[in-house]
């Protein structure tokens, strides 16, 4: 599978571009590669889809921020279980982006209602739902499937979503003759052009309801609670947003359901701290164990591990447990657990303890004498991230 191109590169804009500049760039690309201007041109059609996918992300402030932070991985494209993030079809593009040119624009009919202004009604889209999903470190590290309860508007079964009694009492709109759109001829610098706009009488539905449905009272949808399984991939991060296509609200009287947006909320671990795909544990040992060496048990993600401290272990030493971190999002590598050794110095001492330590104070081996192999703080930090 070919690697996705950078969305900014696709539209020929930069990260600092304004919303209007991004919209203008998309208009230009959409007109250039529109399938009706490039019949039977597969390459042009793919570029048209690619531009629409890029605009879908970069025109949405939340999606744009997510993309700027995590790239394509943050779009949930390989998450599975219904997450979207690419592969848009032509129907999605025309229904979602037809109005970017506006009904009053001479190019409006070029995009509205299907290919080349064929006269069909633009399919309406319902609103998105947003939920927060709390995950602990173990769930984030390995990925998990969750089942959540969501209240959302779904199509009324009694009227099949059209709002009429028994789903049959519908009449064609007299203003638009059932098309959902009205047309007018407009004089432009290019000559006469036909434009289309949403019918003001039926709001683009093309039909009017006679007797209303007894269940949904003419709205064509009802509020229901649904249990939805969600597959969360390993390696997600706090505030990352994933989406499930078609699991949002259905619009009144028919249309495409919006998306369910899942915002990840990472719970703090009792002992471990996350640093990218690595986890960090602060190990505190007394200076006797550090001097003589010992064996200690440390917590890991989902378990424990025993490590050995060599005699003469210095404070600030970092030990590494390979592969005990978090799996890379949509990747194959796994981070490590980094154990930071801290020498615990007692704040209060008994008279006997003081006496013992006083005897050792002037012992040659207790006089600090760091060698070249004993790295300083900045060297250790540099080694961690090199």
**Using 50, 70 and 90 to split pLDDT, how confident is the model at 82?**
very low
Q: What is the structure's pLDDT at 253? A: 86
Q: 43 with 3: CB under 8 angstroms?
A: no
Mean pLDDT of 362-376: 76
Cut 0.85: pTM above it: no
Q: Per-residue pLDDT for 377 more than 70?
A: no
Q: Is 339 annotated as a binding residue?
A: no
**Using 50, 70 and 90 to split pLDDT, how confident is the model at 109?**
very low
Q: Quick one: which of 40, 13, 256, 67 has its CA closest to 153?
A: 256
Mean pLDDT of 322-331: 90
- Which among 66-70, 91-95, 112-116, 378-382 has the top mean pLDDT? 66-70
Q: Give the lowest-confidence range in 71-80, 85-94, 148-157.
A: 85-94
Q: Per-residue pLDDT for 122 more than 90?
A: no
Q: Per-residue pLDDT for 13 more than 70?
A: yes
Cα-based angle 117, 182, 31 (whole degrees, multiple of 5) = 30
> DSSP string covering 307-335, please?
EEEPTTPPTT-EEEETT-S-BPTTSS-B-
CA 144: distance to chain centroid? 16
Q: What is the structure's pLDDT at 115? A: 43
Q: Give the lowest-confidence range in 70-84, 254-268, 325-339, 365-379.
A: 70-84
**Helix segments in the chain, DSSP class H:** 7-11, 19-33, 42-58, 61-70, 90-97, 108-111, 137-142, 287-292, 351-361, 377-385
Q: Is 11 annotated as a binding residue?
A: no
Q: Is 340 annotated as a binding residue?
A: no
Q: What is the structure's pLDDT at 148? A: 93
**Using 50, 70 and 90 to split pLDDT, how confident is the model at 91?**
low
Q: Is 322 annotated as a binding residue?
A: no
**Using 50, 70 and 90 to split pLDDT, how confident is the model at 307?**
very high
Q: Per-residue pLDDT for 351 more than 80?
A: yes
Mean pLDDT of 237-261: 91
**Using 50, 70 and 90 to split pLDDT, how confident is the model at 372?**
low
Where exactly does CATH 1.10.287.110 map onto the chain?
Answer: 1-74
Q: Is 202 annotated as a binding residue?
A: yes
Q: Per-residue pLDDT for 294 more than 90?
A: yes
For residue 203, what are the contacts with CB-CB under 8 A and spacing of at least 6? Answer: none
DSSP state of 366: G
Q: What is the percentage of the chain residues whose pLDDT exceeds 90? A: 45
Question: Would you tell me how many other CB atoms lie within 10 Å of the CB of residue 42?
Answer: 9
Q: Per-residue pLDDT for 77 more than 60?
A: no
Q: Per-residue pLDDT for 247 more than 50?
A: yes
Burial profile 199-227: b = 16 or more Cβ within 10 angstroms, e = fewer: beebebbbbbbeebbeebebbbbbeeeee
For residue 52, what are the contacts with CB-CB under 8 A and spacing of at least 6? Answer: 26, 30, 88, 92, 93, 96, 97
Q: Is 59 annotated as a binding residue?
A: no
Q: Per-residue pLDDT for 321 more than 70?
A: yes
DSSP state of 60: S
Beta strands at 278-286 and 170-172: parallel, antiparallel or unpaired:
unpaired
Mean pLDDT of 101-118: 45
Enter the CATH code of domain 272-385: 2.60.260.20
**Using 50, 70 and 90 to split pLDDT, how confident is the model at 254?**
confident
**Using 50, 70 and 90 to split pLDDT, how confident is the model at 92?**
low
Residue 183 has phi, psi (to 5 degrees) of -115, 150
Q: Per-residue pLDDT for 106 more than 50?
A: no
Q: Per-residue pLDDT for 180 more than 90?
A: no
Mean pLDDT of 119-135: 81
Q: What is the structure's pLDDT at 88? A: 56
Measure the N-to-C terminal CA separation of the chain; round to a whole number of Å: 31
For residue 170, what are the contacts with CB-CB under 8 A and spacing of at least 6? Answer: 162, 164, 207, 208, 209, 210
Where exactly does CATH 2.60.260.20 map onto the chain?
Answer: 125-152+221-267, 272-385
Enter the CATH code of domain 1-74: 1.10.287.110
Q: What is the structure's pLDDT at 89? A: 56
> DSSP string covering 263-308, please?
EEEEPPPSS-EEETTEEEEEEEEEHHHHHH-EEEEEEETTEEEEEE
Q: What is the structure's pLDDT at 130? A: 94
For residue 185, what are the contacts with CB-CB under 8 A and spacing of at least 6? Answer: 192, 193, 194, 195
Enter the CATH code of domain 125-152+221-267: 2.60.260.20
d(CA 342, CA 63): 41
For residue 349, what are the contacts with CB-CB under 8 A and spacing of at least 6? Answer: 357
Q: Per-residue pLDDT for 196 more than 90?
A: no
Question: Would you tell me how many other CB atoms lie within 10 Å of the CB of residue 136?
Answer: 15
- Mean pLDDT across the chain, nearest whole number? 83
Q: What is the structure's pLDDT at 383? A: 62
Q: How far is CA 135 from CA 66, 272, 284, 335, in A?
A: 19, 14, 28, 18
Q: What is the structure's pLDDT at 8? A: 93
């Amino acid at each position: 599978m070919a690697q996705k191109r950078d969305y900014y590169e696709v539209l020929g804009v930069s990260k600092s571009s304004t919303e209007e500049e991004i919209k203008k760039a998309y208009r230009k690309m959409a007109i250039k590669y529109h399938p009706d201007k490039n019949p039977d041109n597969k390459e042009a059609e793919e570029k048209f889809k690619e531009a629409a996918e890029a605009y879908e992300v970069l025109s949405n402030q939340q999606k744009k921020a997510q993309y700027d932070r995590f790239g394509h991985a943050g779009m949930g494209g390989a998450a599975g279980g219904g997450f979207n993030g690419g592969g848009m079809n032509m129907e999605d593009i025309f229904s979602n982006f037809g109005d970017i040119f506006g009904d009053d624009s001479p190019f409006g009919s070029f995009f509205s209602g299907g290919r080349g202004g064929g006269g069909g009604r633009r399919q309406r889209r319902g609103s998105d739902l947003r939920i927060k999903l709390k995950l602990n470190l173990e769930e984030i590290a390995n990925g998990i499937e969750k089942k959540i309860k969501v209240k959302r508007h779904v199509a009324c079964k009694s009227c099949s979503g059209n709002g009429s009694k028994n789903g049959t009492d519908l009449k064609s709109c007299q203003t638009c003759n059932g098309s959902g759109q009205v047309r007018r001829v407009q004089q432009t610098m290019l000559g006469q052009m036909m434009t289309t706009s949403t019918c003001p009488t039926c709001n683009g539905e093309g039909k009017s309801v006679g007797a209303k449905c007894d269940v949904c009272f003419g709205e064509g949808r009802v509020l229901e609670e649904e249990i939805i399984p969600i597959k969360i991939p390993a390696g997600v991060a706090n505030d990352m947003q994933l989406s499930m296509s078609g699991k949002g609200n259905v619009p009144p009287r028919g249309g495409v359901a919006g998306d369910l947006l899942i915002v990840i909320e990472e719970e703090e671990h009792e002992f471990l701290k996350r640093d990218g795909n690595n986890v960090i544990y602060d190990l505190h040992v007394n200076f006797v164990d550090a001097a003589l060496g010992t064996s200690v048990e440390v917590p890991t993600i989902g378990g424990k591990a025993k490590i050995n401290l060599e005699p003469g272990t210095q404070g600030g030493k970092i030990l590494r447990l390979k592969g005990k971190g978090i799996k890379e999002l949509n990747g194959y590598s796994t981070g490590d657990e980094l154990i930071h050794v801290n020498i615990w110095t007692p704040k209060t001492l008994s008279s006997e303890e003081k006496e013992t330590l006083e005897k050792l104070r002037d012992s040659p081996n207790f006089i600090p004498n760091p060698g070249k192999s004993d790295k300083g703080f900045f060297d250790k930090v540099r080694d961690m991230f090199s």
